[in-house]
Structure 1
Amino acid sequence: MDATLVLGQQGRLVIPAEVRAALGLAAGDRLHLQLRGQRVVLERPQDAVAELRGLASEVPEERSLVDELLAERRLAAAAGE
């Protein structure tokens, strides 16, 4: 689905009704805005969370990212950073 939006005088965008319907958006819903280079990406927070959970599901259960982060921080502290 493609849509053209017009930036209003106060910097507001109106998402067309057919796009809102396709995404299940309603008045008052929050969207997360992210810049990716020269692109603007809008997504529902629950979709961003689902994407992160999907990425985390690829990490083996026996691997602790927290332990790895702590080890990196301890090395950096020991090196005087």
Structure 2
Amino acid sequence: MTYHAKVITGGKIVIPADLRRELGIKDGDSIVLEASADGILLRREDPDAALARLRRGLSGYSVDQFLHERRADWGE
């Protein structure tokens, strides 16, 4: 289904109620907007999924590696 929204003052967009219900978006929820080749992708930010993505991104990254990179940034 296609939904339409208008950008109002301050760049705010009101997500249509039907779409919010369909996606399970409630007051106070975080959403993620991503630029894509076709436009903007909007998705509900599931805290568990966000944590899993973060863990995947950091897997194999050690404190030693972090410190080595920071020391290189500082010229040590």
Tell me the TM-score range normalised by the shorter chain.
Answer: 0.5 to 0.7
- Mapped to 2, the partners of 1:20 and 1:30 lie a distance apart of 10
Which residue of the partner structure matches residue 5 of structure 1? 5
- Cα deviations across residues 31-76 of structure 1 (Å, max 9, x unaligned)? 34556379555444435x61452352372xxx34332111111233
Contact 1:31–1:45, Cα closer than 8 Å, also in 2: yes
Superposed structure 1 runs of 4+ greater than 6 Å apart: none
Identify which of structures 1 and 2 has the higher relative contact order when contacts are C-alpha pairs closer than 8 Å and 6+ apart: 2
Q: How many residues align?
A: 74
- Mapped to 2, the partners of 1:9 and 1:77 lie a distance apart of 43
Aligned-pair identity in percent equals 27
**TM-score for the superposition, normalised by structure 2:** 0.56
Q: Any idea what SS the aligned residue of 1:57 has?
A: helix
Which residue of the partner structure matches residue 21 of structure 2? 21
Do residues 71 (structure 1) and 68 (structure 2) align?
yes
Q: Any idea what SS the aligned residue of 1:53 has?
A: helix
Gaps of 5+ in 2: none
Larger Rg: 1
Gaps of 5+ in 1: none
The equivalences for 1:41-60 within 5 A come to 41-47=41-47, 50-54=49-53, 56-57=55-56, 59=59
**TM-score for the superposition, normalised by structure 1:** 0.54
